[in-house]
Amino acid sequence: MKVFVVNCGSSSIKYQLFDMADESVLAKGLLERLGTSSALLRHSGNGKGREPVECERAVQAADHTAGLKLILDVLVDPRSGVLESIDQIDGVGHRVVHGGEGVTRSSRIDGELLKVIEANCDLAPLHNPANLAGIRAAMGAVPRAVHAAVFDTAFLATLPPHAYRYAVPNAWYAQHHVRRYGFHGTSHRYVTLTAAGLLGKPADQVHLITVHLGNGCSMTAVAGGKAVDHSMGMTPLEGLVMGTRSGDIDPAIVFQMHAAGLAVQEIDRVLNKESGLLGLSELSNDMRDLLRAVEVGDRKAALAVDVFVYRIAKYIGAYYTILPGLDAVVLTGGIGENSPPIRHRICRWLTPLGAVADEARNNQVVGGRAGPITAERSALAVWVVPTNEELMIARDTAAIVFGRGT
């Protein structure tokens, strides 16, 4: 079975083609700057069993329909492609950011589901419209395949009301859907299932705190394999300190800044794109840059790192108290998987919970490896588990193709 995974942004299409017989990646790539004169396609593939093919070229793609046609043409190219025909694609899995309250699992796409995705565009105005455009383009380009939507919010649909409701007037929830939805759910679900296997526990019995650390950061409390709390809120702005997002702030700060002369749109831009690590350090939103700056005595960079780690530790402590037990804290994402210095700092904060860092383990678990970074004697296990959202989407799509659901 061949599954084509598509992640459409407003000006980009990220894709991977899987052979689900062994879950191998046959091809992957990124089409960016869609709709501009400088559109660029980066593609790599196996070349139908020959030497791997890498290409990067300027292209003309006015919209998602034109962009997907270019990508599919590359996949079936007689010399460098990996498919004989588009008809070899059995399923197309689409990443969709927001399913609202009504969607609790990955689902086959039909007319009704398209209406649900469209109805939630107001809750994810930067993502759902692009996801819809990609779905419609792909359904036209690959009509014989089963198309499935895998929602970022689905894994987090099990949050109880006391976790997802805000203490605002009930009318805000009833009329305007003001509540915690959470995001990165596909990553948290993949990491939960993988960690359960590594720990030798059934997925429905594992208790975890999963910590996704990248340019966007989020954390999920998992009890019995189900999400019971999550750090992001109605939007991805709430929670941990991120690359350019502020994370938690006093809401009254918005009023103060508006009174000081900033327009609402400007405050939105600053909190989402100019805050977080970038805002604190005034240097970069890339943790690697900040750690190098810390080594040469940059105080602003040091503060940014300290605030970042402190917020993570504080959330872990809070989630520790609401779980029936804790099998492991699981770190993932670009920073979680590849930054031993940040992981060491996190473990140091977790000493009161019984964490004992193991420096050798911490330095070895990088580059796609999974494993514990705490010592054998540690009362609290801290693990690194690389995430793979595309594979999670492919697995869900394959299950839907076979009629098993998810």
- Name the residues annotated as catalytic: 152
SS3 labels along the chain = CEEEEEEECCCEEEEEEEECCCCEEEEEEEEECCCCCCCEEEEEECCCCCCCEEEEEECCCCCHHHHHHHHHHHHCCCCCCCCCCHHHEEEEEEEECCCCCCCCCCEECCHHHHHHHHHCCCCCCCCHHHHHHHHHHHHHHCCCCEEEEEECCHHHHHCCHHHHCCCCCHHHHHHHCCCCCCCCHHHHHHHHHHHHHHHCCCHHHCCEEEEEECCCEEEEEEECCEEEEECCCCCCCCCCCCCCCCCCCCCHHHHHHHHCCCCHHHHHHHHHHCCHHHHHHCCCCCHHHHHHHHHCCCHHHHHHHHHHHHHHHHHHHHHHHHCCCCCEEEEEHHHHHHCHHHHHHHHHHCHHHCCCECHHHHHHCCCCCCEECECCCCCCCEEECCCCHHHHHHHHHHHHHCCCCC
